[in-house]
Amino acid sequence: MADKDKVVIFDTTLRDGEQSPGFTMNIKEKIMLADQLIKLGVDVIEAGFPIASDGDFEAVKMIADRARGVQIAGLARANEKDIDVAWNAIKGAENPRIHTFISSSDIHIVHQFKKTREEVLNIAVDAVTQGKSFTNNVEFSPMDATRSDPVYLAEMVHAVIQAGAVTVNIPDTVGYAIPSDFNRLIRYLFEHVPNINDAIISVHCHNDLGLAVANSLAAIEAGARQIECTVNGIGERAGNTAMEEIVMAIRTREDLFHVHTDINTRQIVPTSRLLSNITGVSVQPNKAIVGGNAFAHESGIHQDGLLKNAMTYEIMKPEDVGISKSTLVLGKHSGRHAVLDRLASLGFTLDKEETDRFFRLFKALADSKKEVFDEDLMVLVGEAFFKGEDQRRYKVENVQISTGMFSPPMAMVTIKDRKKGSAEQFEVAHGNGGVDAGVIAVKKITGTTAHITSFNLVAITGGSDAVAEVHCTVAEEYEGKELKAFGSSANIDVSIAGIHSFVDALNKLEYMKMAGQRGREIMNGVNGKV
């Protein structure tokens, strides 16, 4: 027996979505996305418009032939050739669906087709009848339904259901509807089409006024039980109903809608990311459900509430959409609670004096930086612990690198060692590149037994003159234990940044040796996380 509370999710990312500028996909990409849509649990995949091109036909056919556990729809205009071609593309599917359409609005009938209402009605019925000769699973769409005369629309819906359409889709083709009047239109059809219960009523909303999801929800309230939607809301012009938004609205407000979908919501974000990766078009950070900021909080008041109970500022669990956890973005709006919580999660517990010093340093940094990352916090912890005094043992006085295609990279490094009365020491070394040569020279000068365990390079500005930021971790045996230290530096020259970050890490190792057990615990915490 049909579940009257189930909303069928009809995904048209590969058809309406793919036909919009910037979202074209090749066959391999379409197959990859179709596989993911199956994992996501959509009920129907509209795989394409087979008559549109040989490539479209091929892609629909390949998806139909391999996809299992999902219905595969092929779109066809209401004419013999389109329907034949669509059937040939989808007939290998486990459950193929022909989706045929023709406009019901006078604007289209008169100006585009130059036909009468009666002619169009007959074409619609003939198309459904032809589709039924291939499969029982025929869907019909009266295009531009929301600008059609409701009386004529009801007549057409009645006629196509009588001809055998098992799904009738009411498209808001130009995104003209407003939730209240779309709800009225769907109710009108339920009240005036005598055989309406013989079909599932679907809606297909475009987002020209930013109302596609709201209109789809209004239609569900009026009795619609299929939603046509796309991943990330892509589609013609301003796009279609966003799958992730409609699914999570239904789920989050089940108390209101009393319906459900079979979507595995944990696959929502992976699906969204896959589409962005394939098309190279990312979603805006504030996009509902799947945007980078959708589960990120920066306000101090919100962060404080969330840490006490996630319900205070979150209506959905990030895990439910496939994100491991919410992020508290640390920046100038963050409060002490959030910052200290992040420190604790990184393994640090500071005493009152250290905390006060740390928080002052944090605020100063946050004022000059959009976002404070874990690496920044670690550096600040080190500084807070060492009271900001300059206790660095080694100071790099000069670095000169020479390299070329036919000469081995060479570094000349001069360092002052405070333990040796700040005398300048100089070494030359060759290596596999400028950084390696410099590190070897530094090792010769300092005699350190520390070795680099990680080395990360990030370009923090763009262009060939980008500033390079280098983070490195070093490890050294000390009193039977392994000490680890984290160093960082930024410079326009990557080799110089690399050498400075190595020396910075060596200085921290020296701090740790001086700092006794407590200092080593803190600093090892700093470095162990990097």
- Exposed, middle or buried, 257 (CB in 10 Å: 0-12/13-18/19+)? middle
Could you write out the DSSP letters of every residue in 282-347? PPPTT-TTTSTTTTEE--HHHHHHHHH-GGGT-SS-GGGGT-S--EE--STT--HHHHHHHHHHTT
Tell me the window of 11-19, 119-127, 390-398, 441-449 that interacts with Zn ion (CB under 5 A).
Answer: 11-19
Q: Which is nearer to ligand KIV, 141 or 507 (CB)?
A: 141
Residues near Zn ion (CB under 5 A), total: 1
Using an 8 Å Cβ cutoff, are 297 and 303 in contact?
A: yes
Among candidates 19, 9, 11, which has minimal Cα distance to 235? Answer: 19
Q: Which is nearer to ligand KIV, 46 or 504 (CB)?
A: 46
Residues 6+ apart with CB under 8 A from 499: 396, 399, 411, 413, 435, 438, 439, 442
According to CB under 6 A, which one of 16, 18, 139, 504 is a site residue for ligand KIV?
16
**Nearest-approach distance from CB 205 to Zn ion, in angstroms:** 9
Using an 8 Å Cβ cutoff, are 371 and 393 in contact?
A: no
Does position 141 interact with ligand KIV (CB under 6 A)? The reply is: yes
Among candidates 227, 181, 221, which has minimal Cα distance to 201? Answer: 227
Closest residue (Cβ) to Zn ion?
A: 16
According to CB under 6 A, which one of 51, 143, 289, 437 is a site residue for ligand KIV?
143
Q: Which is nearer to Zn ion, 16 or 476 (CB)?
A: 16
Q: Which is nearer to Zn ion, 14 or 366 (CB)?
A: 14
Does position 489 interact with ligand KIV (CB under 6 A)? The reply is: no
Report CA-CA distances (Å) from 355 to 115, 265, 338, 369, 486. Answer: 78, 40, 13, 20, 20
- Residues 152-171, one symbol each (x = binds ligand KIV by CB under 6 A, - = not), give -----------------x-x
**Nearest-approach distance from CB 19 to Zn ion, in angstroms:** 9
Q: Which is nearer to ligand KIV, 167 or 272 (CB)?
A: 167
Does position 173 interact with ligand KIV (CB under 6 A)? The reply is: yes
Output the CA angle 511-522-512, nearest 5 degrees: 20
* CA dist., res. 42 & res. 70, Å (int): 7
Contacting ligand KIV within 74-103 (CB under 6 A): 101
Does position 488 interact with ligand KIV (CB under 6 A)? The reply is: no
**Cβ–Cβ contacts within 10 Å for residue 286, how many?**
10
Question: What 3-state DSSP class applies to 214?
Answer: helix
Q: Which is nearer to ligand KIV, 171 or 233 (CB)?
A: 171
**Nearest-approach distance from CB 142 to ligand KIV, in angstroms:** 9
Q: Which is nearer to ligand KIV, 234 or 410 (CB)?
A: 234
Q: Which is nearer to Zn ion, 62 or 229 (CB)?
A: 229
Residues 6+ apart with CB under 8 A from 330: 298, 338, 339, 342, 362, 366, 371, 372, 373, 377
Does position 244 interact with ligand KIV (CB under 6 A)? The reply is: no
Q: Which is nearer to Zn ion, 16 or 304 (CB)?
A: 16
Tell me the window of 13-21, 48-56, 62-70, 515-523 that interacts with Zn ion (CB under 5 A).
Answer: 13-21
For 86, phi then psi, to 5°, come to -60, -45
According to CB under 5 A, which one of 16, 29, 298, 504 is a site residue for Zn ion?
16
Residue 377, both tokens? 């916090």
**Nearest-approach distance from CB 492 to ligand KIV, in angstroms:** 52
Tell me the window of 8-16, 30-38, 332-340, 499-507 that interacts with Zn ion (CB under 5 A).
Answer: 8-16
Residues 6+ apart with CB under 8 A from 121: 155, 156, 159
- List residues near Zn ion by CB under 5 A: 16
- List residues near ligand KIV by CB under 6 A: 16, 101, 141, 143, 169, 171, 173, 204, 206
